[in-house]
Structure 1
């Protein structure tokens, strides 16, 4: 019998994504909670995977990932950020971005180290810190309009600070880092031997002509950063679970020490198909415009509702303020909305260490237009 009092994660249960998707299935509600598309993967990718399977590329890939994919990732990043990562020593293909986040955090932290996280934070960060016997130090974004409070981040810096975890474009808020954020970050990391884990899985989903400020664009930040991205978000294939981590050779070696004992290697034929896909730059350069159309459609459909629209600069998530509708806790309102009105969303208070509740919900608009129209019709009835 396992003694649950000895649990390594005693306060962790089933994720909110699993809970809300299960409730959506139970009630037959429109699921705008979990961040996955309801439209098809590009047929070129499916055909490519099948072709490589038939060609016999079905055995273990190299631990770091197949070389054609690493080479094309290197070319893509150089094209976008003018920074050259060595495919042989500085790029690791992973089984999704969540695995990459876990490996990067584990590679950085020793027991007693401190890691600063920006909240609301994706729920994989704190468990990885805790499993490393390190200490999470949360810093809440200023609300509104969801901007990092760099003065507070600076106040959290101590002799034990080893890591800052960033996420831009930001899930769940849709905010993005801007140049002033980069300058503030530069000043802070210069205060000590501080590493960065930069979760950039929505890197190609940025709107209104704005620029994705990747750590890779800045040599002084790149030299201390693990930059993580995801093909699942870029190519509408979240179930394929292929991501990657960019880091200088010394950091990549530490990363790979963890990665080799977590998954060792990721799906081989999918890696080859993705290598071919990203050789066509239009396959990711057009993604921002694709999702901006969906953002703008959803916002226009919701405009007449009692919800208030918050800014959305990137990702495929829209935050809606419901304070004019109810003063219920966001967890309670999200459940009631799913059951009574047939639309599921995510309550962001679960992404705060202290449960901060601003009476907003997160809605995913990575859906067919018909799905968004049907969901908006229901939301406008509330």
Structure 2
């Protein structure tokens, strides 16, 4: 039986976690994939070793460069165009600091996956927020064009998008290339979820666009593709000139990550069979969510990547997402209010659900939602 929790405040991530923990609700609000859920599906690290990681040992740099070359047909110099950082957030922050200064402006899309307001303002710049357009949360490039001016120096894009599961399409990247042609705008493109695309995805990577790559800090992850939450190692790929400045700033404010666990990950990332495991699980779970909630009052977002799924609850009740989250916690399910990822806390009547948890917990959570 779930305890009543309406008297508790729900204002941020910490209060949400506390509310869910004290209520006993099934927690589907986490913003990282569930390591337990993945291990249930593909087995433990020992089982993965039994399945065979056949690559000879390479340094993490060499392994990653080899992987990028094989997947995207793009050569990367592991010595001058690639570096590792302690986490995605730090990798993005370093790219921002490397690119802007006093009086500049930065285009940020909402719902954002990393709150950049503080670091942008510390650089003397200002964020310009552009909302992704419902129902599919696509970028409205005409709105981007109107927002670009002489002060615009950086644009930050996540693809696949953590919260909406949307990925840039080839036409998006072509339009992006057209819009910034002749400008001094640089790009930070967070592709840390690129290994979580479903079989139905038609998305494209910036790696296939040489002109864009010349002005892009491409951020990726070594641990997210395998839900290894015990390590938090991100990487940045950029042209040598951009990377030299990036590394200079990195050495001034951050240490190199601990590579003890990433040696294992560097072997895994060059094994095609392993890299298909997590997206296969997530696609299966996403299809389960769609099927189980088909006749409910919740509408499941249409997406082709990722482990977070958005539920539209407008047909259930017309209340703020924070209030809806509190109500569902009382019903035994903890979800994430989407307004937490908007600079002005704009409510879109949607909640985020992490679908990477153990199958038994996901089944029970869906039962509770379907029966509301």
**TM-score clears 0.5:** yes
1:120 to 92, 98, 111: 111
Partner of 1:39: 37
CA distance in 2, matches of 1:223, 1:329: 43
Q: What does 1:101-112 align with in structure 2 at a 5 Å threshold?
A: 101-112=92-103
State the Cα distance separating 1:47 from its structure 2 match: 9.5
CA distance in 1, matches of 2:317, 2:136: 20
CA contact (8 A) 2:223 2:265 kept: no
Partner of 1:345: 335
Partner of 2:370: 380
> SS of the residue aligned with 1:87?
coil
> SS of the residue aligned with 1:108?
coil
CA contact (8 A) 1:45 1:277 kept: no
CA distance in 2, matches of 1:294, 1:113: 42
Partner of 1:61: none
State the Cα distance separating 1:70 from its structure 2 match: 0.8
State the Cα distance separating 1:304 from its structure 2 match: 2.7
> SS of the residue aligned with 2:196?
coil
- Structure 1 pair 82–47 and aligned structure 2 pair: CA distance change class (3 A): closer
* RMSD over aligned Cα atoms: 2.1
Farther off after superposition, 207-216 or 236-245: 207-216
State the Cα distance separating 1:279 from its structure 2 match: 2.6
State the Cα distance separating 1:145 from its structure 2 match: 2.0
> SS of the residue aligned with 1:237?
coil
Q: What does 1:6-155 align with in structure 2 at a 5 Å threshold?
A: 16-35=12-31, 36-37=33-34, 38-39=36-37, 43-44=44-45, 68-155=59-146
CA distance in 2, matches of 1:355, 1:326: 19
CA distance in 1, matches of 2:82, 2:11: 29
CA distance in 2, matches of 1:46, 1:269: 19
Q: Deviations over 1:60-105 (max 9, x none)?
A: xxxxxx9710111111111111111110011111111111011111
CA contact (8 A) 2:221 2:234 kept: yes
Farther off after superposition, 327-336 or 347-356: 347-356
CA contact (8 A) 1:24 1:31 kept: yes
Structure 1: which 5+ residue stretches go unaligned? 1-13, 49-65
Partner of 1:370: 360
Partner of 1:179: 170
CA contact (8 A) 2:201 2:305 kept: no
